[in-house]
Structure 1
Amino acid sequence: MVLNTSLIILSFILIYFLFRQLYYISNDIYWANKDVHGIFSKILIFFLYFGFISMIVQYFREDYHFPLRYLIYIGITATIRFIIVNNENSIQTLWLATVVFVLTISYLMLPHPEAKND
């Protein structure tokens, strides 16, 4: 009960930050902000909030269970978003690409629920 209540409160907090980020993005568009990198960063942060909210919704849809494959999806997409925004250091980008590769291999090693054992 405490976990579910905490997740509901967290989802409302994340919804607030999601709409706040949307407000910042719309201000940048309205005032014709020329900092494309800054606007792109704000859009990626918006989608991170959206991803966390959808993760909480998925938890309730899966009968209070969160499959490991969803965490791996989130890890892969978050790492790719980080690479897109912060790509100044090539060694760091190489390490992050290695992380994406390892997470992808981990996902492929998971047993999938569609595969039925007859």
Structure 2
Amino acid sequence: MKSWMSHIYKIPAILQGILNITLVLVGFTLTFFLLKETWYIFSFMFIDSDVGKTDYEFTEQLLVFFLYFEFIALIIQYFKSGFHFPLRYFIYIGITAIIRLIIIDYTNASNTLLWSISIAVLLGALVLANMKVVRRDEH
């Protein structure tokens, strides 16, 4: 019975290892797409800036760049903080995603107002998450 229980206690460590390997692979994939977005931004700015691309498309791609950047920062922070995802990084990602959504689809004023209110709610949550009482990581 004791040998069986000793194997049960190894399961969380095995799952943690699988999670870590998967997050490293996701990090490399996101880095590839971040570099791809960087090339798109560079080519828009310096190579072919007038080939039918609008400023809204450029802004959309720039915000996608920041989303990739924030997800990579989240993965890095996960490993630095001892296998813990800080809540405030998810809030940053949510705010950036909603801003991107507002820029892409701004035709309906009531939706834009609701998304703006949701950004304000996320900012309030960010203030709470950055309080010393709530934070668990060190800077």
TM-score normalised by L of structure 2: 0.71
Corresponding residue SS for 1:107: helix
- Unpaired runs of 5+ residues, structure 2, are 1-16, 135-139
Q: Deviations over 1:54-108 (max 9, x none)?
A: 1100111111001223222322232233323432221111110121122233334
The one-letter amino acid paired with 2:28 is F
- Unpaired runs of 5+ residues, structure 1, are none
The one-letter amino acid paired with 1:32 is S
1:13: which partner in 2?
A: 29
Which residue of the other structure, out of 123, 127, 130, is the alignment partner of 1:104?
A: 123
1:3: which partner in 2?
A: 19
Q: How far apart are the structure 2 equivalents of 1:73 and 1:17?
A: 19
Q: Offset at 1:110?
A: 4.5
TM-score normalised by L of structure 1: 0.82
The count of aligned residue pairs is: 115
| Residues 91 and 122, structure 2, Cα contact 8 Å, conserved in 1 | yes
Q: How far apart are the structure 2 equivalents of 1:109 and 1:25?
A: 34
The one-letter amino acid paired with 2:41 is I
Residue 84 of structure 2 is aligned to residue 65 of structure 1: yes
